[in-house]
Amino acid sequence: MRKDFLPFTRPQVTEEDIRQVEAVLRSGWLTNGPRNVEFEEAVCKYVGNRSAVCLTSETAAMHLLTKIFDLKPGDEVITPSLTWVSMINMVALSGAVPVFAEVDRDTLMVTPETVAAKITPRTKLIVPVHYAGAPCDIDGIRKVAGAIPVVEDAAHALGASYKGRKIGGGDTTCLFSFHAIKNITTAEGGMVVSNDEKLISDFRRWKFHGIVVDAFDRENRGRAPQAEVSFPGFKYNLSDIQAALGASQLSRIDRINAKRRELAMLYRELLADIEEIKPLADPSGYDFEHAWHLFIVRVVSPKLDRDAFMKALKAENIGTGLHFRCAHLQKYYRETMGCRPGMLPATEFNSDHICSLPLFPDMTGDDVADVAAAIKKVLA
């Protein structure tokens, strides 16, 4: 058994990251300012898109999305149930209805077919998720969406690519998360990236009290301090302390993702002969590059269920995660929407059987070998 605990994830913070944060702390400007602008421009350049806005989290971006799209009771938003609850909760808060599209049983992603099956005249928005770092079939989904807007949840997918273009690039609107476990982090933080300038300027106004001009604009861009509230907005601006950390991390994203890939390939090799452990499948039908945010397996042992498996691995000093428990069978959605088991068979099967194994850039091949050995031991 391992002597020290191997966590499911650990953020990589380098001396350079610390220097960049320290420079902000010494600069006299702490909240959103020049380092926000630098981080937004760097992400746009990296993914190949026009404009971006930093926010305090991706959930904040989703909240603003429900405002900008003016979601109202009766409107419908198609998204998976097998995802983190942020988008679903924000839709529910707006009074609109989250409509759950089924996922592919082995990639955990919605498909053009499962999305098409849920489109109605009330569908206002479609939010597919690029799961675990793999891209979903976004062209196919946009095709079935027709005129209905598609906004991509790319929380897991910074650095992933689809048909040769980076997720977040081209004529898309994508939401990213920089929460502490993501491929790059600002501790908490998010960003919307889009080629739609009007949408981006809406996000800017909604993120800061409904005022077009914020403190940085006034001090540094000579904009009028008399700017008024044009509508009541929120306060979701990211601090420069966080943006500096994000920009510093972004400068090595390709190295981070390459290391994640190397570890994931080793997992695939070492787990290949364990019948009770079924890793996710790669998407098929299009070229892609995986960002390897998570290494997810399904535990299908007649002797040990997923929860017991996670507990047994913990006793072996191996941490694991659960990404994610499906939303539609959680208390609020059972009680308010009448969701019942059997509605989404592939979603529910995976919700009961998935487990995320340790994967972070400072892990070693020996750590992966320890996880594989511990898995064999607990299954035996």
- In one-letter notation, the amino acid at residue 280 is L
Minimum Å distance from CB 175 to ligand PLP? 7
User: For residues 124 and 156, which CB has a smaller minimum distance to ligand PLP in the complex?
Assistant: 156
The pair of structure tokens assigned to 329 is 């069978």
Catalytic annotation present for 377: no
Asked whether position 233 contacts ligand PLP by CB under 6 A, the answer is: no
Q: How far apart are CA 180 and CA 157, in angstroms?
A: 15
Asked whether position 173 contacts ligand PLP by CB under 6 A, the answer is: no
Segment lying near ligand PLP (by CB under 6 A), choices 148-156, 214-222, 341-349, 365-373: 148-156
For tokens 């006299």, what's the residue? Answer: 28
Segment lying near ligand PLP (by CB under 6 A), choices 63-71, 78-86, 192-200, 223-231: 78-86
Q: How far apart are CA 326 and CA 150, in angstroms?
A: 21
Q: Residue 299 pairs with which residues in a beta bridge? A: 277
**What binding mask, one character per residue, do residues 126-145 give for ligand PLP by CB under 6 A, x or -?**
---x----------------
Residue 311: other Cβ atoms inside 10 A: 13
Minimum Å distance from CB 54 to ligand PLP? 12
Q: Beta-strand (E) ranges in 273-372?
A: 277-279, 288-289, 295-299, 354-357
Segment lying near ligand PLP (by CB under 6 A), choices 51-59, 297-305, 354-362, 369-377: 51-59
**What binding mask, one character per residue, do residues 7-46 give for ligand PLP by CB under 6 A, x or -?**
----------------------------------------
Q: How far apart are CA 238 and CA 218, in angstroms?
A: 17
Minimum Å distance from CB 26 to ligand PLP? 27
Is the backbone peptide bond immediately before 324 cis, with ω within 30 degrees of 0? yes
For residue 341, what are the contacts with CB-CB under 8 A and spacing of at least 6?
329, 348
Q: How far apart are CA 42 and CA 38, in angstroms?
A: 6
User: For residues 239 and 374, which CB has a smaller minimum distance to ligand PLP in the complex?
Assistant: 239
| Rounded (5°) CA angle 120-126-131 | 135
Asked whether position 203 contacts ligand PLP by CB under 6 A, the answer is: no
**What binding mask, one character per residue, do residues 57-76 give for ligand PLP by CB under 6 A, x or -?**
xxx-----------------
- Per this entry, what is the length of the chain? 380
User: For residues 190 and 361, which CB has a smaller minimum distance to ligand PLP in the complex?
Assistant: 190
Q: How far apart are CA 268 and CA 127, in angstroms?
A: 30
Asked whether position 190 contacts ligand PLP by CB under 6 A, the answer is: yes
Asked whether position 86 contacts ligand PLP by CB under 6 A, the answer is: yes
Minimum Å distance from CB 130 to ligand PLP? 8
Q: How far apart are CA 198 and CA 194, in angstroms?
A: 10
Segment lying near ligand PLP (by CB under 6 A), choices 54-62, 66-74, 92-100, 202-210: 54-62
Q: Which of 182, 259, 303, 311 is catalytic?
A: 182
Minimum Å distance from CB 204 to ligand PLP? 18
Segment lying near ligand PLP (by CB under 6 A), choices 80-88, 160-168, 226-234, 266-274: 80-88
The pair of structure tokens assigned to 84 is 């983190």
Q: How far apart are CA 25 and CA 95, in angstroms?
A: 41
Backbone phi, then psi, for 359, in 5-degree steps? -155, 110
Positions touching ligand PLP (CB under 6 A) are: 57-59, 83-84, 86, 129, 153, 155-156, 177, 179, 190
Residues marked active site are found at: 182
